[in-house]
Structure 1
Protein backbone atom coordinates (compact mmCIF):
# COMPACT_ATOMS: atom_id res chain seq x y z
CA UNK A 1 0.00 0.00 0.00
CA UNK A 2 1.25 3.47 -0.82
CA UNK A 3 1.02 6.50 1.39
CA UNK A 4 1.51 10.00 0.11
CA UNK A 5 2.61 11.48 3.43
CA UNK A 6 4.52 14.53 2.30
CA UNK A 7 4.34 12.64 -0.92
CA UNK A 8 6.40 9.72 0.39
CA UNK A 9 5.63 6.06 -0.17
CA UNK A 10 5.93 4.00 3.00
CA UNK A 11 7.12 0.96 1.04
CA UNK A 12 9.63 2.50 -1.36
CA UNK A 13 10.38 5.81 0.45
CA UNK A 14 9.87 7.55 -2.90
CA UNK A 15 8.77 11.18 -3.02
CA UNK A 16 5.51 11.79 -4.93
CA UNK A 17 3.61 14.80 -6.13
CA UNK A 18 0.28 15.32 -7.85
CA UNK A 19 0.80 16.00 -11.56
CA UNK A 20 -1.50 17.74 -14.04
CA UNK A 21 -3.15 14.42 -14.92
CA UNK A 22 -4.18 13.84 -11.28
CA UNK A 23 -1.64 11.08 -10.80
CA UNK A 24 0.85 10.80 -8.00
CA UNK A 25 4.18 11.01 -9.74
CA UNK A 26 7.49 9.94 -8.26
CA UNK A 27 10.95 8.81 -9.08
CA UNK A 28 10.14 5.09 -9.06
CA UNK A 29 6.52 4.75 -10.19
CA UNK A 30 3.27 6.52 -10.97
CA UNK A 31 0.28 5.86 -8.76
CA UNK A 32 -3.15 6.69 -10.23
CA UNK A 33 -4.90 9.39 -8.22
CA UNK A 34 -8.23 8.10 -6.95
CA UNK A 35 -11.36 9.94 -7.96
CA UNK A 36 -12.57 9.31 -4.41
CA UNK A 37 -11.83 12.34 -2.23
CA UNK A 38 -11.83 10.08 0.83
CA UNK A 39 -8.35 8.93 -0.27
CA UNK A 40 -7.18 12.54 -0.26
CA UNK A 41 -8.76 13.11 3.15
CA UNK A 42 -7.15 9.93 4.48
CA UNK A 43 -3.75 11.06 3.22
CA UNK A 44 -4.15 14.50 4.78
CA UNK A 45 -5.17 12.92 8.09
CA UNK A 46 -2.16 10.62 7.93
CA UNK A 47 0.20 13.54 7.33
CA UNK A 48 -1.50 15.60 10.04
CA UNK A 49 -1.09 12.75 12.55
CA UNK A 50 2.70 12.82 12.25
CA UNK A 51 4.51 14.20 15.30
CA UNK A 52 4.94 17.96 15.14
CA UNK A 53 2.74 18.60 12.09
CA UNK A 54 0.84 21.84 12.64
CA UNK A 55 -0.99 21.97 9.33
CA UNK A 56 -1.40 20.69 5.80
CA UNK A 57 -2.50 22.88 2.90
CA UNK A 58 -3.35 21.78 -0.64
CA UNK A 59 -3.62 24.78 -2.93
CA UNK A 60 -3.97 25.51 -6.61
CA UNK A 61 -1.23 27.17 -8.64
CA UNK A 62 -2.57 30.65 -7.89
CA UNK A 63 -2.34 30.12 -4.12
CA UNK A 64 -6.01 29.47 -3.37
CA UNK A 65 -6.43 26.82 -0.70
CA UNK A 66 -8.37 23.76 -1.85
CA UNK A 67 -8.06 21.90 1.45
CA UNK A 68 -6.41 22.88 4.72
CA UNK A 69 -6.18 21.67 8.30
CA UNK A 70 -5.37 25.20 9.54
CA UNK A 71 -7.90 27.84 10.58
CA UNK A 72 -9.16 30.17 7.84
CA UNK A 73 -6.91 33.12 8.73
CA UNK A 74 -3.74 31.01 8.91
CA UNK A 75 -4.69 29.20 5.72
CA UNK A 76 -5.16 32.46 3.80
CA UNK A 77 -1.89 33.92 5.10
CA UNK A 78 0.19 30.79 4.54
CA UNK A 79 -1.22 29.85 1.13
CA UNK A 80 -0.67 33.29 -0.41
CA UNK A 81 2.86 33.65 0.93
CA UNK A 82 3.95 30.07 0.25
CA UNK A 83 2.71 30.28 -3.33
CA UNK A 84 4.76 33.47 -3.82
CA UNK A 85 7.81 31.82 -2.24
CA UNK A 86 7.41 28.84 -4.55
CA UNK A 87 7.10 31.01 -7.66
CA UNK A 88 10.15 33.06 -6.69
CA UNK A 89 12.13 29.86 -5.99
CA UNK A 90 11.13 28.44 -9.39
CA UNK A 91 12.28 31.66 -11.02
CA UNK A 92 15.66 31.54 -9.26
CA UNK A 93 16.19 27.89 -10.25
CA UNK A 94 15.38 28.67 -13.90
CA UNK A 95 17.72 31.70 -13.85
CA UNK A 96 20.56 29.51 -12.61
CA UNK A 97 19.85 26.68 -15.04
CA UNK A 98 17.16 27.03 -17.70
CA UNK A 99 16.78 23.27 -18.03
CA UNK A 100 16.12 22.77 -14.31
CA UNK A 101 12.90 23.09 -12.28
CA UNK A 102 11.87 23.16 -8.64
CA UNK A 103 10.50 19.82 -7.41
CA UNK A 104 10.57 20.21 -3.62
CA UNK A 105 11.20 23.11 -1.26
CA UNK A 106 12.13 22.77 2.40
CA UNK A 107 12.35 25.87 4.58
CA UNK A 108 13.63 25.55 8.13
CA UNK A 109 13.34 28.31 10.74
CA UNK A 110 14.05 28.36 14.47
CA UNK A 111 10.46 27.30 15.22
CA UNK A 112 9.07 25.57 12.13
CA UNK A 113 9.88 23.62 9.04
CA UNK A 114 7.76 24.13 5.94
CA UNK A 115 7.86 21.52 3.19
CA UNK A 116 6.34 22.32 -0.19
CA UNK A 117 5.83 19.91 -3.08
CA UNK A 118 4.92 22.07 -6.09
CA UNK A 119 3.43 20.87 -9.34
CA UNK A 120 2.02 22.53 -12.45
CA UNK A 121 -1.49 22.84 -11.01
CA UNK A 122 -1.16 22.17 -7.27
CA UNK A 123 1.05 22.74 -4.24
CA UNK A 124 1.15 20.58 -1.14
CA UNK A 125 2.51 22.37 1.92
CA UNK A 126 3.16 20.84 5.32
CA UNK A 127 4.03 22.97 8.33
CA UNK A 128 5.85 21.24 11.16
CA UNK A 129 6.67 22.61 14.61
CA UNK A 130 10.27 21.71 15.42
CA UNK A 131 9.93 22.08 19.18
CA UNK A 132 7.44 19.23 19.57
Structure 2
Protein backbone atom coordinates (compact mmCIF):
# COMPACT_ATOMS: atom_id res chain seq x y z
CA UNK A 1 0.00 0.00 0.00
CA UNK A 2 2.90 2.34 0.74
CA UNK A 3 4.23 1.83 -2.78
CA UNK A 4 0.84 2.72 -4.22
CA UNK A 5 0.72 6.03 -2.34
CA UNK A 6 4.31 6.85 -3.28
CA UNK A 7 3.55 6.20 -6.95
CA UNK A 8 0.47 8.40 -6.85
CA UNK A 9 2.52 11.13 -5.17
CA UNK A 10 5.31 10.80 -7.71
CA UNK A 11 2.91 11.38 -10.59
CA UNK A 12 2.53 15.01 -9.63
CA UNK A 13 6.14 15.68 -8.60
CA UNK A 14 8.14 14.04 -11.33
CA UNK A 15 6.81 15.23 -14.65
CA UNK A 16 10.11 16.79 -15.75
CA UNK A 17 12.33 13.79 -15.00
CA UNK A 18 12.56 12.36 -18.51
CA UNK A 19 13.12 15.62 -20.36
CA UNK A 20 16.56 16.25 -18.94
CA UNK A 21 17.12 12.85 -17.35
CA UNK A 22 18.02 14.73 -14.17
CA UNK A 23 15.85 13.48 -11.36
CA UNK A 24 14.28 16.23 -9.24
CA UNK A 25 14.72 15.90 -5.45
CA UNK A 26 11.02 15.07 -4.97
CA UNK A 27 11.27 12.14 -7.37
CA UNK A 28 14.53 11.00 -5.79
CA UNK A 29 12.79 10.92 -2.43
CA UNK A 30 9.84 8.97 -3.85
CA UNK A 31 12.10 6.43 -5.59
CA UNK A 32 14.12 5.99 -2.39
CA UNK A 33 10.90 5.41 -0.46
CA UNK A 34 9.72 2.87 -3.04
CA UNK A 35 12.95 0.88 -3.02
CA UNK A 36 13.08 0.82 0.77
CA UNK A 37 9.73 -0.96 0.99
CA UNK A 38 10.43 -4.66 1.36
CA UNK A 39 7.67 -5.81 -0.98
CA UNK A 40 9.05 -3.75 -3.89
CA UNK A 41 11.08 -5.85 -6.30
CA UNK A 42 12.06 -2.89 -8.48
CA UNK A 43 10.96 0.10 -10.49
CA UNK A 44 11.46 1.45 -13.99
CA UNK A 45 11.30 5.02 -15.21
CA UNK A 46 10.67 4.89 -18.96
CA UNK A 47 10.52 7.42 -21.77
CA UNK A 48 7.30 7.74 -23.74
CA UNK A 49 9.13 7.96 -27.07
CA UNK A 50 9.45 5.30 -29.72
CA UNK A 51 11.25 3.12 -29.04
CA UNK A 52 10.65 3.25 -25.32
CA UNK A 53 13.90 3.65 -23.39
CA UNK A 54 14.78 2.92 -19.81
CA UNK A 55 15.75 6.18 -18.14
CA UNK A 56 16.41 4.58 -14.78
CA UNK A 57 15.68 1.32 -13.00
CA UNK A 58 16.18 -0.48 -9.73
CA UNK A 59 16.02 -4.17 -8.95
CA UNK A 60 17.58 -7.18 -10.64
CA UNK A 61 14.28 -8.10 -12.29
CA UNK A 62 14.63 -5.03 -14.53
CA UNK A 63 18.26 -5.53 -15.55
CA UNK A 64 19.55 -6.45 -19.02
CA UNK A 65 17.33 -8.10 -21.60
CA UNK A 66 14.62 -8.85 -19.05
CA UNK A 67 14.40 -5.12 -18.30
CA UNK A 68 14.04 -4.33 -21.99
CA UNK A 69 11.22 -6.88 -22.25
CA UNK A 70 9.43 -5.35 -19.27
CA UNK A 71 9.89 -1.84 -20.70
CA UNK A 72 8.41 -2.85 -24.03
CA UNK A 73 5.52 -4.72 -22.40
CA UNK A 74 4.69 -1.81 -20.08
CA UNK A 75 4.61 0.63 -23.00
CA UNK A 76 2.36 -1.75 -24.98
CA UNK A 77 0.01 -2.21 -22.02
CA UNK A 78 -0.42 1.53 -21.54
CA UNK A 79 -0.95 2.12 -25.27
CA UNK A 80 -3.42 -0.74 -25.53
CA UNK A 81 -5.49 0.46 -22.58
CA UNK A 82 -5.50 4.04 -23.90
CA UNK A 83 -6.62 2.81 -27.33
CA UNK A 84 -9.36 0.70 -25.75
CA UNK A 85 -10.64 3.64 -23.73
CA UNK A 86 -10.72 5.80 -26.86
CA UNK A 87 -12.69 3.11 -28.70
CA UNK A 88 -15.36 2.73 -26.02
CA UNK A 89 -15.75 6.48 -25.56
CA UNK A 90 -16.24 7.05 -29.27
CA UNK A 91 -13.39 9.53 -29.27
CA UNK A 92 -15.05 11.69 -26.60
CA UNK A 93 -12.42 11.23 -23.91
CA UNK A 94 -10.32 14.29 -24.76
CA UNK A 95 -8.08 15.03 -21.81
CA UNK A 96 -9.20 11.89 -19.97
CA UNK A 97 -5.80 10.20 -19.88
CA UNK A 98 -4.83 7.18 -17.83
CA UNK A 99 -3.44 8.24 -14.46
CA UNK A 100 -2.73 4.96 -12.70
CA UNK A 101 -3.02 1.23 -13.38
CA UNK A 102 -2.57 -1.87 -11.23
CA UNK A 103 -2.17 -5.31 -12.71
CA UNK A 104 -2.04 -8.28 -10.35
CA UNK A 105 -0.99 -11.81 -11.17
CA UNK A 106 -0.63 -14.80 -8.85
CA UNK A 107 2.98 -13.86 -8.09
CA UNK A 108 3.36 -10.12 -8.63
CA UNK A 109 1.62 -6.81 -8.93
CA UNK A 110 2.78 -4.10 -11.30
CA UNK A 111 1.68 -0.53 -10.76
CA UNK A 112 2.03 1.90 -13.65
CA UNK A 113 1.78 5.66 -13.43
CA UNK A 114 1.82 7.12 -16.96
CA UNK A 115 2.59 10.75 -17.68
CA UNK A 116 2.78 12.52 -21.03
CA UNK A 117 6.60 12.34 -20.93
CA UNK A 118 7.36 9.14 -19.03
CA UNK A 119 6.04 5.94 -17.47
CA UNK A 120 6.82 4.91 -13.90
CA UNK A 121 6.33 1.21 -13.21
CA UNK A 122 6.81 -0.53 -9.87
CA UNK A 123 6.85 -4.30 -9.47
CA UNK A 124 6.09 -5.72 -6.06
CA UNK A 125 5.31 -8.97 -4.33
CA UNK A 126 1.82 -8.64 -2.83
CA UNK A 127 2.46 -11.61 -0.53
CA UNK A 128 5.16 -9.64 1.30
CA UNK A 129 3.80 -7.23 3.87
Give TM class, smaller chain. 0.7 to 0.9
| Equivalent residues of 1:18, 1:119 under 8 A apart | no
Aligned match of 2:12? 16
Using the alignment, how far apart are the partners of 2:42 and 2:65 within structure 1?
A: 13
| Structure with higher helix content | 2
- Aligned residue pairs, count: 111
Aligned match of 1:37? 23
Q: Which has the higher contact order (CA 8 A, sep 6+)?
A: 2
Q: Following TM superposition, where does structure 1 have runs of at least 4 consecutive aligned residues deviating by more than 6 angstroms?
A: none
Alpha-carbon shift at residue 41 of structure 1 (Å): 3.3
| Structure with higher strand content | 1
| Structure 2 alignment gaps of length 5 or more | none
TM-score, normalization by structure 2: 0.73
TM-score, normalization by structure 1: 0.72
More displaced, 37-46 or 86-95?
37-46
| Structure 1 alignment gaps of length 5 or more | 10-14, 24-34
Across the aligned residues of Structure 1 and Structure 2, the Cα RMSD in angstroms comes to 2.5
